[in-house]
Amino acid sequence: MDIVHSRCAGLDVHKETVVACVRLASGDKVSREVRTFGTTTSGLLALLAWLTEMGCTHVALEATGIYWRPVWNILSDGAFELVLANAAHIKNVPGRKTDVNDATWIADLLAYGLIRSSFVPEPAIQELRSLLRTRKQLVREQTSHVQRVQKTLEDANIKLDCVITDILGVSGRAMIEALVAGETDPGTLAELADRRLKASRDQLREALRGRVTDHHRFLLRLHLGQIDALTADAERVDRQVDAVIARMDAAVEAGQAPVQAMIGLLITVPGIGPLAARMILAEIGCDMSRFPSAAHLLSWAGLCPRNDESAGKRRSARLRKGAPWLKTVLVQCAWAATRKKGSYLQAQFYRLRSRRGPKKALCAVAASMLTAIYHMLRDGTGYQDLGADHFDHCSTEARARRLVSQLAKLGFDVEIKPLAAVP
């Protein structure tokens, strides 16, 4: 096997230490030198100086939780190329695992070009990604507290969630705050409902007839305070995201599209709103040249079937592991896109749901959306819907075979003949 990088290094990153192995090849002779550095700023600067002194051209490290980020940030100032490796792709031989052996193994793999570099976006996109991931975690915590409010009301035999879809909407919030304030009369509580609420006053009075104690009021007050605090934090994150995008647009180079313009392109796709567009850009970045094709982006996102074949048989067609933050938001957007009447995405969903089930059909719609996003960001073009009748015009013969097979399942023997051409 030919050596690709003659002067390279492998790093085994831990919380407090980094074990570095420099591999120098000269003809058939290979020399290695291993040193251990601390993960403090002074220790990482010493590592940078040593790697520069040894003349390394490529340095590889594995992604270990959050510990690789400060190492990457400091070593990115060096004159060498950094390679971030997936830890699952560079496993060492079992039974021979030590820190020195791990660093040596990473250096050997890098020397022969056997490490696939992971996608690491630019610092501004990393900042945007961190903010939007934090916002999503805040929303998840907020949902947990809403569920705790429902649990507390159920314990008090208040069946509010049976007659109101959103118990923290305008009507539900007013009733719960009145319960916390000490109001117990069901009729008075029912009158707080908004006039647009579908539930009748009798249904509300019956649902609000319970046994609310001081213990329940304390828990409700506590959870409502947590929900309000999380809502305020999410709004602060939104303002910070806007500031980051404005700073990125101010620093954009000539010939490049601003981030706000890219967001405007993405929201033309059915099912994608302004927040989802920001989250998608934060995960995949703005520069599509990192991905040679749309298929590479789909593979990285985990929206394509895995390769699992043995003895000529396909054992599994499950989705491969990919970017979980991106995959979840795309599936949510795909679910919203299927409700767009007369659209290509809705037609694709219904076409696949009958044969493959709703989950696989939804993932296929998400993959189609990501494919469109790739070409839109790469070419700077808007979304063009193919229409709900796209599949009808794709292949007339395939559609005819499908209809004949459906009639055969119903017990009919059909023979089709093409119509004679009209003169």
pLDDT digits (tens, 9 = 90+) for 225-280: 999 999 999 999 999 999 999 999 888 776 677 889 999 999 999 999 999 999 99
Mean pLDDT of 84-103: 82
pLDDT digits (tens, 9 = 90+) for 171-226: 999 999 999 999 889 999 999 988 888 888 899 999 999 899 999 999 999 999 99
Q: Helices 324-337 & 123-155, crossing angle to 10 degrees?
A: 70
What's the DSSP call for residue 339? T
Which residue has 């020397």 as its token pair?
111
108-140 b/e (C-beta count within 10 Å ≥ 16 → b): bbbbeeebeeeebbeebbbbbbebbeebbebee
- Sheet of 29-38: strand order equals 29-38, 17-26, 7-13, 58-62, 81-85
Predicted confidence at residue 222, as pLDDT, reads 96
What is residue 199's predicted lDDT score, i.e. its pLDDT?
87
39 pLDDT more than 80:
yes
**Phi then psi dihedrals of residue 26, to 5 deg:** -135, 100
Residue 317 φ/ψ region, left for φ over 0, alpha for ψ in the -120 to 50 degree band, beta for the rest: alpha
How many Å apart are CA 152 and CA 12, to the nearest integer?
49
Backbone φ and ψ of 313, nearest 5°: -115, 135
pLDDT given for residue 9 in this prediction: 95
Q: Which amino acid is at 92?
A: N
Residue with tokens 């993932």: 363
Residue 400: per-residue pLDDT: 82
What's the CA gap between 407 and 405, in Å, rounded? 5
Q: If you average pLDDT over residues 358-386, what whole number do you get?
A: 93
How far is Cα 378 from Cα 34, in angstroms, rounded to an integer?
A: 43
Please tell me the predicted confidence (pLDDT) of residue 393: 75
Q: Answer whether residue 163 shows pLDDT above 70.
A: yes
Task: Categorize the per-residue pLDDT at 87 as very low, low, confident or very high, splitting at 50, 70 and 90.
Answer: confident
> What pLDDT, on a 0 to 100 scale, did the predictor assign at position 147?
95
Band of the pLDDT at 368, cuts 50, 70, 90?
very high
Name the least confident of 65-74, 85-94, 148-157, 353-362: 85-94
Bridge partners of 418?
Answer: none
Is the pLDDT confidence value at 361 over 90? Answer: yes
Q: Which of 366, 132, 384, 362 is nearest to 268 (CA)?
A: 384
pLDDT reported for residue 95 = 67
pLDDT given at position 331 = 94
Q: Please tell me the predicted confidence (pLDDT) of residue 111.
A: 92
DSSP H helices in 156-198? 170-181, 186-190
pLDDT at 255: 65
**What average pLDDT does the chain have?**
90
Mean pLDDT of 92-118: 86
In this prediction, residue 390 carries a pLDDT of 83
Instruction: Tell me the per-residue pLDDT of 282-302, one tens digit each, with 9 for 90 and over.
Output: 999 988 988 999 999 998 998
| Confidence check: pLDDT of 31 > 80 | yes
Share of residues in the chain with pLDDT > 90 (%): 62
Q: What is the pLDDT of residue 329?
A: 95
Angle between helices 274-284 and 123-155 (to 10 degrees): 130
Give every CB contact of residue 358 below 8 A, 6+ residues apart in sequence. Answer: none
Predicted confidence at residue 391, as pLDDT, reads: 81
